[in-house]
Amino acid sequence: MINKEKIERINWLSQKQRSEGLTAPEKEEQKLLRQQYLTHIKNQVVETFSNMGLEPSEKNRHRQSCKCSGCKKH
């Protein structure tokens, strides 16, 4: 779940990256937070379309829920 604190942390890391750079742990944290944010947004879009009666295709459903790296389906 993305909350206000996570969004503030994403923004802070982004500002720090532009101004002075990030350490390796901060880069990993930024990568993880961005992935969580994107997953949250994608889920909101899918939910909105589902509420409108539109369902994603099987290919896109897999892409949205897949946690693998290189499953050859996307």
4-61 under CATH 1.10.287, yes or no: yes
The ranges assigned to domains in the chain are 4-61
Q: How far apart are CA 66 and CA 11, in angstroms?
A: 26
pTM higher than the cut 0.75: no
**Could you read off the pLDDT of 2-58 as tens digits, one per residue?**
899 999 999 999 999 999 999 999 999 999 999 999 999 999 998 898 888 877 666
